[in-house]
A and B are shown apart, each in its own frame.
Chain A
Amino acid sequence: MAEQLYQRDVYGQTLVKLGELDKDIVVLDADLSSSTRTNLFAKQFPERFFNFGVAEQNMMAAAAGLASCGKKVFLSTFAVFAAGRAWDQIRVSIGYNNFNVKIVATHAGITVGPDGASHQALEDIALMRVLANMNIIVPCDGPQTADAVIAAAETPGPFYIRLGRSKVPTIENKDGFKLGKAQVISEGNDVTIIACGIMVFEALLAVKNLAQKGIKARLVNVHTIWPLDKEAILKAAKETKFLVVCEEHNVIGGLASSVGEVVAGNCPKKVIHLGVRNRFGQSGEPQDLLKEYNLTSLDIEKAVLSNIS
């Protein structure tokens, strides 16, 4: 079994490392620092950490003010509160200003688990994707979380980085991380499976099972939702028979929509969307929820088998 890490642990540790090198880094949280792991930074650099209490809108707009004075601001809360509660503050005070604010939202997706629908962000990618200037990364595992956080620190402008709550297995043997450059995890020309976040691991399991059935699937990890790697998507659309897109998100407005928009305008191919469809989440254990919402490797395999001719 592969190594399993909490993405938010890696996030907190990476922040501490960055904080040592870059004195302009300031970190904000809204009463969730022990969950988002910004508390690691707070412990090391208390003078550069501010807890805003349960007031996400204020935190978001204050981040803009800090950024206007040259600070590189990382801020965290759960994805529902970051993208949902404070969307207008992100739009007007961060996005429109094109300020250097990095929103690292944790506890995204259905695998939040027992907390249920109110806490399961299934819309956040869509909400961020419609904002001009916003870079969006959905890292697939622990090490890629570090890559994403470092890339955000090194690249001026607003970022939204989406992390999960649960431990995720590390995907071995990936190419180096480059912002906006998709990673081909496995080669194949029968079908392309495109995934982001925790769905990359589920897709990898599906690829292995499909291989045993003689189907060669290409697996593409589109970790950067914006700027989107159109080239990799179009290449896959041209070279393989159809595409299956998997995301722990509503099928509307997220990765599947991104892929669909590129393919439809340039190289029409069938694009199958595996995500949450017109439903809110609910309480349950993460693995049971993935099954309930058809987001397991078996669901991916089924989608491939029922569409391959």
Chain B
Amino acid sequence: MDNRQLSIKELEAKAKETRRLIIEMLAKAGSGHPGGSLSATDLVVALYFNILRFNPKDPQWPDRDRFHMSKGHCCPLWYAVLAQTGYFPKEELMTLRQLGSKLQGHPARSTPGVESASGSLGQGLSVGLGMALAAKMDKKDYRVYVLMGDGETQEGNIWEAAMACSHFSCDNLCAILDFNGCQIDGRCEDIMGLEPLAAKWQAFGWHVIEIDGHDMRQILSAYEQAKTVKSKPTIIIGRTVKGKGVSFMEGVIGFHGKAPTKEEAEKALKELA
């Protein structure tokens, strides 16, 4: 990957392109999860294009930074970014969820650039912890990034991992929380309240950065700040809007796990033009 940093404008354009790909993939597949893919887009685009150290020609390069998507259902976003950064041709995106495709309905190691499977929520932060411990043992300076959903933090495994990342002083680990406030059955606060979320992570010994998860400037500065934190892990809580970028999906619970129809996709792509 070239090391050129993209400008805010360029990153915003990449994010828009990524959202278009997500809509196209999901419409083609006929099923999948647009809401959380669109809400986390800016957080993941900024990470891959300006922060993460990797080489798509050598996906197993030992010194690469690690990214793991714990909220596996948002893999259309991951796949769109992996294709744009050169892990595989963009055309392959249209095979999402088809029999024999490298791009499974939830992340699997068949996809170049995917480190570990996910899909059963709550395990990814632990997987990231293992990667962070390996880096420390091997005295390597790669960093580990784990994207989680907000509903996902209702899983007990997340808090086991939260406790351990802090216990083992994993300052090489940065969690990213896509706080769009929605889950399948409704608003998180109605289903199983998460607040005060920042205070919970602070109490578990984390450095917490709260940002607008759609503001590229804030996102980049949060990632840079996280790199400077010593002896404790960092979590970036990005306040986001589920379905961001497509007016009729924004904040609509129904689009958590429902792909756009052909007509909806056309309408969405016009908005994202």
The interface of chain A, by Cβ under 8 A from chain B, is 26, 47-48, 50, 52-53, 55, 57-71, 88-89, 91-93, 96-99
B195 close to chain A: CB less than 8 A = no
Residues in A whose Cβ lies below 8 Å from that of B126:
57-62, 64-65, 89, 93
* Most interface-central of B120, B126, B128, B167 (chain A CB within 10 A): B126
A-B contacts, 23 of them at CB < 8 A, read A52-B164, A53-B167, A55-B160, A58-B126, A59-B126, A61-B124, A61-B129, A62-B133, A62-B161, A64-B130, A65-B126, A65-B129, A65-B130, A68-B115, A68-B116, A68-B127, A69-B134, A70-B62, A70-B134, A71-B134, A71-B137, A92-B123, A93-B116
Residues in A whose Cβ lies below 8 Å from that of B129:
58, 61-62, 65
Given that A92-B117, A97-B117 are contacting pairs, would A66 and B157 also be in contact in the complex, using a CB cutoff of 8 Å? no
B108 close to chain A: CB less than 8 A = yes
Give Cα A63–Cα B117 distance, bound, in whole angstroms: 13
Given that A57-B160, A64-B116, A93-B117 are contacting pairs, would A50 and B133 also be in contact in the complex, using a CB cutoff of 8 Å? yes
CB–CB B130/A68 < 8 A: yes
Tell me, rounded to whole Å, the shortest Cβ–Cβ distance linking B263 to chain A.
35
Residues in A whose Cβ lies below 8 Å from that of B128:
65
B109 close to chain A: CB less than 8 A = yes
- Which chain B residue lies CB-closest to A98? B109
Residues in A whose Cβ lies below 8 Å from that of B167:
53
The interface of chain B, by Cβ under 8 A from chain A, is 62, 66, 68, 108-109, 115-120, 122-124, 126-135, 137-138, 156-157, 160-161, 163-164, 167-168
Given that A53-B164, A69-B131 are contacting pairs, would A96 and B108 also be in contact in the complex, using a CB cutoff of 8 Å? yes
Q: CB < 8 Å: which of A26, A47, A65, A91 contacts B127?
A: A65
Interface of chain A, main secondary structure: helix
- Which chain A residue lies CB-closest to B157? A57
Residues in B whose Cβ lies below 8 Å from that of A71:
130, 134, 137
CB–CB A61/B161 < 8 A: yes
- Which chain B residue lies CB-closest to A30? B160
* Most interface-central of A47, A50, A52, A69 (chain B CB within 10 A): A69
CB–CB A61/B127 < 8 A: yes
CB–CB A64/B164 < 8 A: no
Residues in B whose Cβ lies below 8 Å from that of A67:
130
Residues in A whose Cβ lies below 8 Å from that of B108:
96
Give Cα A71–Cα B131 distance, bound, in whole angstroms: 10
Residues in A whose Cβ lies below 8 Å from that of B156:
57
Give Cα A35–Cα B33 distance, bound, in whole angstroms: 45
Residues in B whose Cβ lies below 8 Å from that of A91:
120
Give Cα A299–Cα B154 distance, bound, in whole angstroms: 49
CB–CB B163/A55 < 8 A: yes
Residues in B whose Cβ lies below 8 Å from that of A99:
116
Give Cα A26–Cα B133 distance, bound, in whole angstroms: 10
Q: CB < 8 Å: which of B116, B132, B137, B161 contacts A97?
A: B116
Residues in A whose Cβ lies below 8 Å from that of B131:
65-66, 68-69
Give Cα A58–Cα B163 distance, bound, in whole angstroms: 10
Q: CB < 8 Å: which of A52, A65, A69, A96 contacts B138?
A: A69
Residues in A whose Cβ lies below 8 Å from that of B124:
61
- Which chain A residue lies CB-closest to B127? A65
Residues in B whose Cβ lies below 8 Å from that of A58:
126, 129, 157, 160-161, 163-164
Residues in B whose Cβ lies below 8 Å from that of A57:
122-123, 126, 156-157, 160
Give Cα A48–Cα B122 distance, bound, in whole angstroms: 25
Tell me, rounded to whole Å, the shortest Cβ–Cβ distance linking A232 to chain B.
34
Give Cα A64–Cα B168 distance, bound, in whole angstroms: 17
CB–CB B137/A62 < 8 A: no
Residues in A whose Cβ lies below 8 Å from that of B117:
92-93, 96-97
Q: CB < 8 Å: which of B68, B115, B135, B157 contacts A89?
A: B157
CB–CB A65/B116 < 8 A: yes
CB–CB B137/A48 < 8 A: yes
Give Cα A67–Cα B168 distance, bound, in whole angstroms: 18
Residues in A whose Cβ lies below 8 Å from that of B119:
92
Assuming A58-B129, A93-B127, what are 13 further A-B pairs, CB within 8 angstroms?
A: A52-B164, A62-B133, A63-B130, A65-B116, A67-B130, A68-B115, A68-B116, A69-B66, A69-B131, A71-B130, A71-B137, A88-B120, A92-B123
- Which chain B residue lies CB-closest to A73? B130
CB–CB B164/A55 < 8 A: yes
Residues in B whose Cβ lies below 8 Å from that of A97:
109, 116-117
Residues in A whose Cβ lies below 8 Å from that of B66:
68-69
Give Cα A58–Cα B62 distance, bound, in whole angstroms: 24
Given that A88-B120, A89-B157 are contacting pairs, would A66 and B163 also be in contact in the complex, using a CB cutoff of 8 Å? no
Residues in A whose Cβ lies below 8 Å from that of B138:
69
- Which chain A residue lies CB-closest to B161? A58
Give Cα A66–Cα B127 distance, bound, in whole angstroms: 8
Q: CB < 8 Å: which of A62, A96, A98 contacts B164?
A: A62
Tell me, rounded to whole Å, the shortest Cβ–Cβ distance linking A138 to chain B.
27
CB–CB B118/A92 < 8 A: yes
Q: CB < 8 Å: which of A53, A59, A92 contacts B120?
A: A92
- Which chain A residue lies CB-closest to B114? A97
Tell me, rounded to whole Å, the shortest Cβ–Cβ distance linking A86 to chain B.
9
Give Cα A44–Cα B13 distance, bound, in whole angstroms: 54
- Which chain B residue lies CB-closest to A89? B123
Residues in B whose Cβ lies below 8 Å from that of A63:
130
Give Cα A58–Cα B132 distance, bound, in whole angstroms: 14
- Which chain A residue lies CB-closest to B126? A61
